[in-house]
């Protein structure tokens, strides 16, 4: 079983911290056409956990790699959750 990635696992600073209601589609369910903000900590955690779960990535070292990619290398045209996930 994969231990969910938490805020404490992330290396970068400067994330926004919006409080989402329980069940909000920005941080629950399956990645879809919901807008994705790479500077919003809950949305980044959601995508990291979805990628780790789908690919069965157990090693936490990959959290750093996924976070770095999202933060530094994700193209500007990626604007939805499904695009970010893919």
Range of the domain at 48: 40-86
C-alpha span between 31 and 46 (Å, rounded): 9
At 1, the pLDDT band (50, 70, 90 cuts) reads: low
67 belongs to a structural domain: yes
4 belongs to a structural domain: no
Q: Whole-prediction pTM value?
A: 0.89
Count structural domains, the chain. Answer: 1
Q: Dump pLDDT digits (tens) for 14-51.
A: 999 988 888 887 778 889 898 999 999 999 999 999 99
């Amino acid at each position: 079983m994969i231990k969910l990635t938490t805020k404490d696992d992330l290396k970068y600073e400067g994330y926004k911290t919006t409080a989402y209601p329980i069940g909000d589609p920005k941080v629950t369910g399956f990645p879809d056409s919901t807008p994705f903000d790479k500077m919003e900590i809950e949305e980044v955690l959601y995508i990291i956990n979805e990628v780790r779960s789908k690919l069965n990535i157990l090693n936490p070292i990959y959290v750093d790699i996924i976070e770095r990619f999202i933060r530094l290398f994700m193209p500007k045209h990626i604007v939805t959750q499904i695009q970010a996930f893919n």
